[in-house]
Amino acid sequence: MKTFKHMLVLSGVLCFVLAIFQIIIGFSPSLSLYFGAPEVLAKNIYMLILVSFVVAWILGIFGLYAMSGAGHIRALPWLKPALLLISGIFILRGLLIIPEFLVVMGLVQSSIPVAPRFVVFSIGALVIGFFFITGTIGGWNSFPSKN
């Protein structure tokens, strides 16, 4: 299997794991707060569960696109632009590491508290974004060009 396929499979698996994790924490307001959910959302369990399922659904779609790019399922519509968009979403989320790190280190003041674990979450998003973009660029010529 080519390296780009490995990267996309890894991206897909990580998205599926995150989707399952999202559903699990959606049933626990305290865990949701720990992982960054707004307090107003955590107070409404039904809305918390709904939002968790929506986020999990989006992550599941991201995983399906990764698996499609790797050739493990049929080619999904708009595969190339979707993989670029997904890569960009994860990379942009990951780039939040810069202001988060500056706040955690005390170099910048912020009215919003930033826990050190948020820096770790940003690193995770950046890594997944790297896997997505590496797999997308590596497999670009082998993706179907229809859609």
Do residues 93 and 122 touch, judged by C-beta distance below 8 A? yes
Instruction: Dump pLDDT digits (tens) for 101-139.
Output: 999 888 888 888 888 899 999 999 999 999 999 999 998
pLDDT average, residue stretch 11-24: 97
In angstroms, the CA 25 to CA 32 distance is 6
Q: Which two tokens stand for residue 23?
A: 């559903």
pLDDT average, residue stretch 14-39: 95
pLDDT average, residue stretch 47-53: 96
Q: Which of 26-30, 56-60, 143-147 is least confident?
A: 143-147
73 Cβ contact partners less than 8 Å away, ≥ 6 residues apart: 64, 67
- Checking if the pLDDT of 145 tops 80, the result is no
DSSP 81-118: HHHHHHHHHHHHHHTTHHHHHHHHTTSS--SS---HHH
- Checking if the pLDDT of 144 tops 90, the result is no
pTM beyond 0.95: no
